[in-house]
């Protein structure tokens, strides 16, 4: 059955694709296996030249691909442009640093020489989401290819134009055929690929159920996985914070990518001494955000990427309000066509409300008043997720306490959580396991071979 990309701002079909058949998928797996046998023997220099070229190809396409990305999944245009430039950055980062990240680790023993050598493992499957349709793929692909592995992409079914463009980047950059291939398959085609003996590992960014499925099949096949799943990141504001800048950061952290980001701050805890000021400014700032055509220069909030996401979010908000959460913003009139959801702040959602414990994938913030940092941290940690966390304060002891006690994969101080090729990225608890980016990312799918020479 053909698969269509639908513009979430207009509900119009943009393009229709024919999925790959089982024969196509088998051919791709054979090609990946064959290519890996040669690619693993290439030097870091050869790989780096091609990866630099990939960065150039991406940069040369920003003007075409950014609007196409906005049309396919609703991201405001400036953010789409920023995403593509960040993809070029991650390619250059690994072109420059891969060799150092993977250099031998010498270890002194009784042998004349002993060390760990980092060797590639083979074809790796990446199951990727639509929310950062280029970035999520390149942050896997750049380290994987620089390490000597080859990549297979199963992208989300609503962004297949992005998926095909990514394959083109590597082709145009001159990577040999089979280094990186896009498989146009649905989620029901993933198990078959994961169980194929030629596929050696998998990485998934997406929802918990998708992650659990990929991890359990991979576990059954004894294949390593990295999972980057959802989050309900806490954002704590203490009395010493610069409130104006905390509000600005809070809004940016919550509504980036129309609120559809795993590392978006979703639960806000403000100290009682500054609560009223923070809340009032937060409300004003969220109210002022321009909702509209993602291609317009001044748009801050576009539509949600799919109807199901909009409907799920609306249900979570309705249930939270019914449970006692207080909505602080009125809903403006929105276009009839398209999957819009206006920014909202829910105050004091009770424990039973979805806003207190579920991931809200859209521009909806939950806000609570707290009387101390320890109360804020206890509430922040009372979540199945543990991806990122932020605290706004200038008190050294509060910063140290937050770093020590927030149960999350990262803590950002006076800043929103953001991924950076130089820093490891990942979560704890139901947010997943393993780390992407930096040296951790390139070592995720590596054989750390022990060598001992008598």
Give the residue numbers annotated as catalytic, written as ranges.
228, 262
Q: 95 or 229: whose CB is closer to ligand NDP?
A: 229
For the CB of residue 167, give the shortest distance to ligand NDP in the complex, in Å: 15
Instruction: Say how far apart CA 353 and CA 351 lie, in whole Å.
Output: 6
For the CB of residue 425, give the shortest distance to ligand NDP in the complex, in Å: 11
Q: Based on the shown chain and the rule CB under 6 A, indicate whether residue 150 belongs to the binding site for ligand NDP.
A: no
Q: Based on the shown chain and the rule CB under 6 A, indicate whether residue 122 belongs to the binding site for ligand NDP.
A: no
Q: 48 or 437: whose CB is closer to ligand NDP?
A: 437
Q: Based on the shown chain and the rule CB under 6 A, indicate whether residue 205 belongs to the binding site for ligand NDP.
A: yes
Q: Based on the shown chain and the rule CB under 6 A, indicate whether residue 128 belongs to the binding site for ligand NDP.
A: yes
Q: Based on the shown chain and the rule CB under 6 A, indicate whether residue 196 belongs to the binding site for ligand NDP.
A: no
Q: Based on the shown chain and the rule CB under 6 A, indicate whether residue 317 belongs to the binding site for ligand NDP.
A: no
H helix or E strand, kind and range, residue 181: strand 180-182
Q: 225 or 393: whose CB is closer to ligand NDP?
A: 225
Question: CB–CB of 359/291 below 8 Å?
Answer: no
For the CB of residue 318, give the shortest distance to ligand NDP in the complex, in Å: 16
Q: Based on the shown chain and the rule CB under 6 A, indicate whether residue 141 belongs to the binding site for ligand NDP.
A: no
Q: Based on the shown chain and the rule CB under 6 A, indicate whether residue 192 belongs to the binding site for ligand NDP.
A: no
Q: Based on the shown chain and the rule CB under 6 A, indicate whether residue 361 belongs to the binding site for ligand NDP.
A: yes
Please spell the DSSP secondary structure of 146-180, one letter per residue.
HHT-EEEEE--TT-HHHHHHHHHHHHHHTPPTTSE
Q: Based on the shown chain and the rule CB under 6 A, indicate whether residue 199 belongs to the binding site for ligand NDP.
A: no
Q: Based on the shown chain and the rule CB under 6 A, indicate whether residue 292 belongs to the binding site for ligand NDP.
A: no
Q: Based on the shown chain and the rule CB under 6 A, indicate whether residue 436 belongs to the binding site for ligand NDP.
A: no
Angle, CA 370 vertex, CA 365 and CA 375 arms, to 5°: 110
Instruction: Say how far apart CA 207 and CA 194 lie, in whole Å.
Output: 18
Residues that bind ligand NDP (rule: CB under 6 A) add up to a total of 25
Q: 366 or 393: whose CB is closer to ligand NDP?
A: 366
Q: 186 or 219: whose CB is closer to ligand NDP?
A: 186
Which member of 187, 192, 242, 381 binds ligand NDP (CB under 6 A)?
187
Q: 166 or 246: whose CB is closer to ligand NDP?
A: 166
Interface stretch with ligand NDP, choices 66-74, 117-125, 126-134, 315-323 (CB under 6 A): 126-134
Question: Among positive and negative, which fits the CA dihedral 441, 447, 453, 454?
Answer: positive
Instruction: Say how far apart CA 71 and CA 57 lie, in whole Å.
Output: 21
Question: CB–CB of 153/59 below 8 Å?
Answer: no
Beta bridge pairs of residue 449: 117
Instruction: Say how far apart CA 112 and CA 104 lie, in whole Å.
Output: 15
Task: State the binding string over 224-263 for ligand NDP (x if CB under 6 A, else -).
Answer: ----xxx-------------------------------x-
Instruction: Say how far apart CA 17 and CA 90 lie, in whole Å.
Output: 29
Question: CB–CB of 229/427 below 8 Å?
Answer: yes
Q: Cα-flanking dihedrals φ and ψ of residue 208, to 5°?
A: -60, -50
Q: Based on the shown chain and the rule CB under 6 A, indicate whether residue 365 belongs to the binding site for ligand NDP.
A: no
Q: What's the N-to-C CA distance of the chain in angstroms?
A: 60
Q: 128 or 365: whose CB is closer to ligand NDP?
A: 128
Instruction: Say how far apart CA 153 and CA 178 lie, in whole Å.
Output: 12
Question: CB–CB of 379/224 below 8 Å?
Answer: no
Q: Based on the shown chain and the rule CB under 6 A, indicate whether residue 129 belongs to the binding site for ligand NDP.
A: yes
Which member of 81, 83, 359, 436 binds ligand NDP (CB under 6 A)?
359
C-beta contacts of 11-19 below 8 A and 24+ residues apart: 11/337, 11/338, 11/339, 14/71, 14/72, 14/161, 15/160, 15/161, 17/160, 17/164, 17/184, 18/184, 19/184, 19/185, 19/186, 19/189
Interacting residue ranges for ligand NDP, rule: CB under 6 A = 127-131, 154-157, 186-187, 190, 205-207, 210, 213-214, 228-230, 262, 309, 359, 361
């Amino acid at each position: 059955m053909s698969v269509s990309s639908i513009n979430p701002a207009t509900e119009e079909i943009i393009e229709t694709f024919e999925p790959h058949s089982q024969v196509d998928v088998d051919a791709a797996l054979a090609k990946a296996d064959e290519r890996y046998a040669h690619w693993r023997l290439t030097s870091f220099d050869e790989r780096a030249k091609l990866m630099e070229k990939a960065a150039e190809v991406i940069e040369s396409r920003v003007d075409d691909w950014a609007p196409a990305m906005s049309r396919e999944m609703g991201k405001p245009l400036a953010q789409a442009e920023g995403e593509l430039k960040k993809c070029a950055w991650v390619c250059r980062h690994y072109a420059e640093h891969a060799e150092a990240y993977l250099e031998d680790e010498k270890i002194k023993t009784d042998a004349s020489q002993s060390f760990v050598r980092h060797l590639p493992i083979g074809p790796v499957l990446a199951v990727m989401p639509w929310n950062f349709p280029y970035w999520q793929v390149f942050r896997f692909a750049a380290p994987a290819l620089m390490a000597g592995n080859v990549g297979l992409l199963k992208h989300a079914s609503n962004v297949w134009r992005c998926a095909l463009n990514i394959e083109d980047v590597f082709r145009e950059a001159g990577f040999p055929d089979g280094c990186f291939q896009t498989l146009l398959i649905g989620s029901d085609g993933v198990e078959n690929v994961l169980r194929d003996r030629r596929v050696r590992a998998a990485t998934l960014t997406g929802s918990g159920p998708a992650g659990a499925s990929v991890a359990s099949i991979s576990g059954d096949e004894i294949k390593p996985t990295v999972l980057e799943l959802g989050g309900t990141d806490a954002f704590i504001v203490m009395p010493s914070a610069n409130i104006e800048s905390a509000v600005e950061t809070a809004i940016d952290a919550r509504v980036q990518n129309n609120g559809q980001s795993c590392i978006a701050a979703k639960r806000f805890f403000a100290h009682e001494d500054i609560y009223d000021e923070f809340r009032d400014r937060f409300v004003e700032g969220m109210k002022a955000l321009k909702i509209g055509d993602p291609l317009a220069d001044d748009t801050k909030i576009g539509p949600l990427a799919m109807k199901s996401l909009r409907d799920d979010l609306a249900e979570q908000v309705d249930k939270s309000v019914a449970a006692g959460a207080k909505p602080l913003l009125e809903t403006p009139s929105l276009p009839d066509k398209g999957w819009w959801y206006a920014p909202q702040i829910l105050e004091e959602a009770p424990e039973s409300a979805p806003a207190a414990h579920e991931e809200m994938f859209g521009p909806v913030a939950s806000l609570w008043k707290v009387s101390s940092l320890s109360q804020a941290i206890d509430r922040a940690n009372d979540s199945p997720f543990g991806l990122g966390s932020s605290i706004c304060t200038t008190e050294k002891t509060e910063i140290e306490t937050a770093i020590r006690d927030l149960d999350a994969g990262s803590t950002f101080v006076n800043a929103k959580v953001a991924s950076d090729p130089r820093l490891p990225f990942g979560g704890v608890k139901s947010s997943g396991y393993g780390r992407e980016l930096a040296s951790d990312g390139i070592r995720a799918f590596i054989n750390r071979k022990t060598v001992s020479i008598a």
